[in-house]
Amino acid sequence: MEALSEDELAFIFSFLSWKEILKVRVCNKWRAASKLTLVPSSSIEIRGMEKPELYVKTEAKYQALPQIIEALPNLQQLSLYENDDLKFQDGEDARVFGFGVHKTTPVIDLECIARLQNLRRLFLERIHLNGRYPFLFNFPRLQQLRIYGVGFLQWDLSMISNFPELQDFYVAHNHRLTGEIKSLRVLKNTLRNVVIATCHEVEGDLMDLADFPHLEEI
């Protein structure tokens, strides 16, 4: 193995899971190779639904996320799930509420995920984000985006143009999502599945997408 280059090691590591790659980082050369590795995308089943294998919910995993991304900047999948015991860093134009939220844990800053420029799958589910987070909408290779129950995340459908390879788009219970459904027409040649539910500030008709050649679900 000593004769192998970092690129060759990275190719070998690409057949391992993200957890396995972290475990084999036993020397500087292998740590450097892990940073070059395009970490394969795989799924786990939770409550009957397939989710990205890198599933972040516990405080320990949220705290470790910057270190995971530092070690594996070519991750292709990420799922961030609710944790009521954590406070997340407010975004731009965050709403100010009339009641205090007292947390004993440190504030979680998610901006580290901006480094994941090879991200293909991103799930955000019920996490307590408040305001605008532009870094969440800058993944040029993203193919699957699911945003569920992130009610105070403020964004506009026109930002979907930052995902030129997007195929599957699901958003529900996002009360601060604005924009027009026709904004999705920039993805006419890539979108396969589109679900927009309980997003009351979104305007337009899903039938505006009826002529998309690859659309399977709307």
Are the CB atoms for 137 and 157 separated by under 8 Å?
no
pLDDT at 97: 67
Spans of the chain, pLDDT less than 70: 1, 97-105
| Predicted model pTM | 0.91
* Cα angle for residues 52, 178, 173 (degrees, 5° grid): 50
pLDDT at 181: 95
pLDDT one-digit tens code per residue, 19-40: 999 999 989 999 999 999 999 8
Helix runs in the chain, H state only: 6-13, 18-23, 28-36, 59-71
Matching residue, tokens 């569920």: 148
